[in-house]
């Protein structure tokens, strides 16, 4: 009710026009969509949704510039909060600590639109880069852990716990980042090490099998031949 009251006017919630309530509900849904897109680093969709929100607010000529600024203020604070959550405050566009004062000093609708779009673009691009860096770091950490523990009874759950991801998410994430699913990557590491041991040591095929983390020599031989095209014995000979 406060949003729709004129200066010094008293208004009851039931006196708000239905069309205004509909517009508000629509904008709230769009804001939710915008936050989802922004948190995923999607600059294009974030810009498009913001423009729709802005146009909806400006469609009713009764809405003053102060009303529009007030409606967008909470959104921009939420967007700024995303920047803090993703640790991208060092972004050149975001270094101004007085961004709220800067925003509140804007007195033209087009300047407000341009300012908000610029900030949304800077933050979403920063989020995308931060997520990419984090994904690269986690994928590298997971691979390093597998490379160091390949000779143990290593499970997907063990590695996902090491990088603080749920097993279900880690499985999809690892495949997306490396091109391998977990078991395929582990197998590649083990077989590569087996090839090295067969070539450079006097270990028997069975000893190599146990050394690289397999408990069944027959299974090891089948996997080895499937990947290399020949058996461990042939390779050793």
SS3 assignment, position 180: coil
pTM score, two decimals? 0.61
- Which of 11-25, 96-110, 203-217 shows the highest mean pLDDT? 203-217
Q: What percentage of residues in the chain have a pLDDT greater than 90?
A: 53
User: To which residue do tokens 């341009």 refer?
Assistant: 114
pLDDT at residue number 59: 78
Residue 51 has pLDDT above 60, yes or no: yes
Look up residue 140 and give its DSSP letter: H
pLDDT tens, residue by residue, 60-79? 666 788 888 888 998 999 99
The count of C-alpha atoms lying within 13 angstroms of the C-alpha of 112, restricted to the half-sphere facing its C-beta, is 26
pLDDT at residue number 113: 94
Per-residue pLDDT band for 50 (boundaries 50, 70, 90) equals: very high
pLDDT the model gives residue 187? 95
Nearest-angstrom CA–CA distance, 189 and 210: 14
* Backbone angles phi and psi of 55, in degrees to 5: -65, -40
**Cα distance between the two ends of the chain:** 86
Residue 95: is its pLDDT beyond 80?
no
The confidence score (pLDDT) of residue 91 equals: 56
Burial class (CB in 10 A: 0-12, 13-18, 19+), 235: middle
The pLDDT, as a whole number, for residue 21 is 55
């Amino acid at each position: 009710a406060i949003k729709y009251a004129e200066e010094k006017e008293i208004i009851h919630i039931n006196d708000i026009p239905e069309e205004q309530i509909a517009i508000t509900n629509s904008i709230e849904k769009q804001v939710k969509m915008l936050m989802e897109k922004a948190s995923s680093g999607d600059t294009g969709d974030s810009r498009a949704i913001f423009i729709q929100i802005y146009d909806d607010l400006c469609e009713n000529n009764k809405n003053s510039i102060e009303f529009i600024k007030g409606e967008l203020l909470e959104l921009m604070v939420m967007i700024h909060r995303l920047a803090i959550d993703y640790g991208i405050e060092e972004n050149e566009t975001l270094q101004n600590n007085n961004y709220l004062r800067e925003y509140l000093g804007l007195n033209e609708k087009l300047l407000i639109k341009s300012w908000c779009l610029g900030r949304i673009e800077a933050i979403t691009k920063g989020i995308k880069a931060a997520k990419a860096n984090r994904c690269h770091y986690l994928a590298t950490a997971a691979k390093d852990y597998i490379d160091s523990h390949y000779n143990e009874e290593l499970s997907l759950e063990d590695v996902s716990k090491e990088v603080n991801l749920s097993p279900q998410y880690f499985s999809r994430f690892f495949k997306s980042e490396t091109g391998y699913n977990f078991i395929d990557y582990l197998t590649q590491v083990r077989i590569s090490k087996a090839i090295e041991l067969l070539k450079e040591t006097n270990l028997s095929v069975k000893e190599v099998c146990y050394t690289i983390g397999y408990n069944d020599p027959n299974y090891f031989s089948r996997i080895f031949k499937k990947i290399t095209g020949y058996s461990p014995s042939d390779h050793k000979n």
